[in-house]
Amino acid sequence: MKTLLVIDSSARSNRSTTRALTARFAAAWQARFGEAAVIHRDLGANPPPAIDEAWIASAFGEPNGETPAALANSETFIAELFQADVIVIGAPMYNFGMPSALKAYFDQIVRVGRTFAFTEDPENPYQALIPSKPVVLVTSKGSGEYEAGGVLESLNFLEPHLATILGFIGLGDIAYTKVAREEYKDEAWRYMVSAAEAEVDRLAADLAVA
Ligand SMILES: Cc1cc2nc3c(=O)[nH]c(=O)nc-3n(C[C@H](O)[C@H](O)[C@H](O)COP(=O)(O)O)c2cc1C
């Protein structure tokens, strides 16, 4: 059984570019592996709570063999990440970075002793604890020009931030599928959507999983 974890973070329930592409990937994945399991973590519909005093005290406290109530969401999300063979993430650009629901999710799952560890090596102070697996990162932006050399390049905190956090916990094997100019819905946008659809189909058909 191949398990796909789909993480959606668009606050739109319909007319969402990222949701359309993650759903397309999931359908193709199920067609490829007839009995593939799909876990759908819908952060747009159900944003995780922000971490708080109890979460931090529990996450950095001495383990006593029981899961503190404050870490219940965190444990559920982390278990899904370990269970998955492949992960597809839909991430719109909101105010130059990721949606707050997706940031809240990463605050829940980046946990010492569970998804990363401190080391004694000053050259390499962190160790990722999630075994590497393919991640398909689907992004959509309203404007264009965020790519290298574009006039908005310095304002793009979406993919760089996501790549940093994902790599930090061991998920650095990332395939990017990007759409831009969604606000314009022009010829260039339509071309990017078609290219993203083809890329999603190719990845769903070709990605090697353990
Ligand atoms: C709250 C909000 C903030 C946004 N901020 C930006 C932004 O900073 N830069 C940009 O290019 N587009 C921005 N957009 C446009 C979205 O990135 C674009 O509509 C994208 O397609 C949303 O993803 P979705 O179609 O999956 O919902 C914003 C949209 C919303 C709703």
For residue range 117-138, what is the model confidence (pLDDT) as tens digits?
A: 999 999 999 999 999 999 999 9
Q: Which of 22-31, 32-41, 126-135 has the lowest mean pLDDT?
A: 32-41
Query: pLDDT above 70 covers what percent of the chain?
Result: 100
Which one of 182, 184, 190, 200 would you pick to mutate in the ligand 1 pocket, going by the greatest count of ligand atoms within 8 A of its CB? 182
d(CA 149, CA 137): 21
* 163 sits in which H/E element: helix 158-168
Is the minimum distance from the CB of 12 to ligand 1 under 6 angstroms?
Answer: yes
The pLDDT score that the predictor gives to residue 167 is 98
Query: pLDDT for 155-206, tens place per residue?
Result: 999 999 999 999 999 999 999 999 999 999 999 999 999 999 999 999 999 9
State the closest ligand 1 atom to the C-alpha of 179, by its place in the atom list counted from 1: 21
| The one-letter amino acid at 72 | A
Domain spans, the chain: 3-206
What is the C-alpha to C-alpha distance for residues 20 and 16, in angstroms, rounded to an integer? 6
Q: Which residues contact 204 (CB under 8 A, 6 or more apart)?
A: 24, 25, 28, 29, 32
What's the pLDDT score for residue 210?
Answer: 74
What gap in Å lies between CA 110 and CA 107, rounded to an integer? 6
Q: Is the CB of 22 under 6 A from ligand 1?
A: no
Residue nearest to atom 8 of ligand 1 (CA): 95
Our answer on whether the CB atom of 64 is closer than 6 Å to any ligand 1 atom is no
Residue found under tokens 């599928």: 177
Domain 3-206 matching CATH 3.40.50.360: the answer reads yes
Token pair in block for residue 193:
């959507």
